[in-house]
Amino acid sequence: MKVDVILGLQWGDEGKGKVVDVLTPDYEIVARFQGGPNAGHTLEFEGEKYILKSIPSGIFQEGKINIIGNGVVIDPALFKQEVEALEATGHVLTDRLYISKKAHLILPTHRLLDAASEKAMGDAKIGTTGRGIGPAYTDKVSRNGLRVGDLFHNFEEKYRNAVARHKEKLSPSDWEDVLPDLEKQWFEGVEKLKTYRIIESEHFINKHLAGGGKVLAEGAQGSMLDIDFGSYPFVTSSNTICAGACTGLGIAPKMIGEVFGIFKAYCTRVGSGPFPTELFDQDGQMLRDQGREYGSVTGRPRRCGWIDLVALRYTIMLNGVTKLVMMKSDVLDSFDSIKACVAYNINGEITEDLPFDISEGIEPEYVELPGWKTDMSAMQSEDEFPEEFNNYLSFLEDELNVPIAIVSLGPDRAQTIIRQG
C-alpha cells in the first residue's frame, strides 16, 4: 500500500488536525513527519476541544497507532505537559503513541538560544514561537544534535557537552536564573517520554506498508513556510512540503499515494513576513473575528486576507496535490462579495507565477465573486450548498486544476462534507 500525505498549502493554521482526525478511520497508522511543538492542531468533537502540539492528530481514534517520526523535534517538558493534559481527560496514550529513536530533542538551552536570537534581531525578528525549534534543527544540520535514541546511550555526557556549546553562545544573564528550573522540568519530561514505545520508525512503517497496511502522514505548519520554498527567511526550520514526508519518515518517493492539500477559503498568517493579500480594513477584521483567528499555540492574532491563488498554484505544484480540502468556508457566509487573487502585478507586469521575492512591489489582481449570504454550518450534504457557493468551488477548481474533495463548514468533526465524484 501507499502513504497518503496531508499538509497545509498556505502559511499554516489551515486546519490540518481536524481533517487528519476525520480521515484517520481509513488508516492504521498516522505519523507526524516534521515540525515540533509549534504546531497547534485543533480538534473539536462531542463538545470538547483539544489542541495538539507534538502528538499526531489521529490519537483520539481507537485502535490506531500514532507515530512521532524522525523528522520531528521533541521537547520532553512540553511533551509531558501535553500527554498529561490528555490523560486528565481520560485519554490513555501509551498503547497508541510511538516515538522514533531518530527524532531530535529540543534541549532547555535551545529555548534560551531561540529567545536570545529573536531579541538580537529586533524589528527584523522572524516571529518564532520561542520554543527552541529553530536552534534544535540547526544542531541537527550541523551534526551536533541529540536524538531520542541517545537517551539510552551515555546521555549525561552528551547532554553536558551540548549545553556547554550552547552556553558559549549565550551571556550568563540569558541562562543563570532560569536554566536550573527549565532543566528540572525537562528531565522530568524525559522520564515520561521513556514510558512510551521508542521505535525504529522507518522499519516499522515500511514493514506495515509491505504487509498491505495504510499510513497517513501528517505535516505541520504550511507549505509557504517550507525552509527551501517558503517566504524565506520568514519560514520554519524544516521541509513542510510532501518531500519532507519521505525524509521525515524514511519512506521512498514511490510510496507516496494521495496528497491532500488543505487551504482556507481565505488566507491567514502568524508572525512576520510577506503576505501579498493581507487586509487592513473592516473585511480583514471581520475575517479575524468570525474565523476566531488567534494562534492556538501563541494566542497571537493572525493576519488575514483574501485567498491567494498564485501562492496556492505554487504549493499545489510543489506537493503534487491530488485532492484539495477547503477549510473555514463558513467564515465567509456573511460576506456580500468575496475576492480571490488570481495574479500579481509587479511593476506593471502581470504574472501567475510566484516570484523569488514577494516582500514588496506586488499588487494583487483580484476577481470578485458574489457571496452566498447563507449560514452553512448545519448543512449535512453538498446538495444543500447554495448556488453561489457551488460557483465559488467551481471557480477555484478551474483556477487550481485539482478537485476539492472535502469542504469544512465549521470546527466540529461533524461539520465536514466529503464531496462525491
User: 235 Cβ partners below 8 Å, 6+ apart?
Assistant: 225, 226, 227, 273
- DSSP of 5-29: EEEESSSS-S-HHHHHHHHGGG-SE
C-alpha of 254 from chain center: 23
Question: CA triplet 138, 197, 208: central angle to 5 degrees?
Answer: 90
pLDDT of residue 41: 67
pLDDT of residue 107: 97
> Given phi > 0 = left and psi -120 to 50 = alpha, else beta, which region is 5?
beta
Beta strand residue intervals within 58-117, DSSP E: 65-68, 73-74, 97-100, 104-105
**CA dist., res. 166 & res. 231, Å (int):** 28
> Given phi > 0 = left and psi -120 to 50 = alpha, else beta, which region is 127?
left
Instruction: Reply yes or no on whether 153 is catalytic.
Output: no
- Given 4, 21, 41, 308, which residue is catalytic? 41
- Cβ 51 vs Cβ 296: under 8 Å: yes
Cell of 52: 495538539
**CA dist., res. 39 & res. 221, Å (int):** 6
Closest CA to 263 of 363, 97, 400, 412: 400
Instruction: Reply yes or no on whether 177 is catalytic.
Output: no
- Cβ 23 vs Cβ 63: under 8 Å: no
Distances (CA, A) of 76 to 148, 187, 189: 10, 7, 4
Burial environment of residue 225 by CB neighbours within 10 A (0 to 12, 13 to 18, 19 or more):
buried
Q: How many Cα neighbours within 13 Å face the side chain of 385?
A: 21
> Given phi > 0 = left and psi -120 to 50 = alpha, else beta, which region is 7?
beta
Count other Cβ atoms within 10 Å, centred on residue 354. Answer: 22
**CA dist., res. 361 & res. 358, Å (int):** 8
pLDDT of residue 126: 55
Distances (CA, A) of 252 to 73, 184, 200, 206, 246: 21, 40, 16, 9, 6
Beta strand residue intervals within 200-317, DSSP E: 215-222, 256-264, 267-269, 303-305, 307-308
Q: Using 70 as the pLDDT threshold, list the residues of the chain that sit under it.
A: 39-48, 120-129, 296-298, 421
The letter for the amino acid at 69 is: G
- Given 13, 21, 174, 308, which residue is catalytic? 13
Reported as a single tens digit per residue, the pLDDT across 125-182 is 555 567 899 999 999 999 999 999 999 999 999 999 999 999 998 888 777 888 999 9
pLDDT of residue 57: 83
pTM exceeding 0.85: yes
**CA dist., res. 268 & res. 279, Å (int):** 10
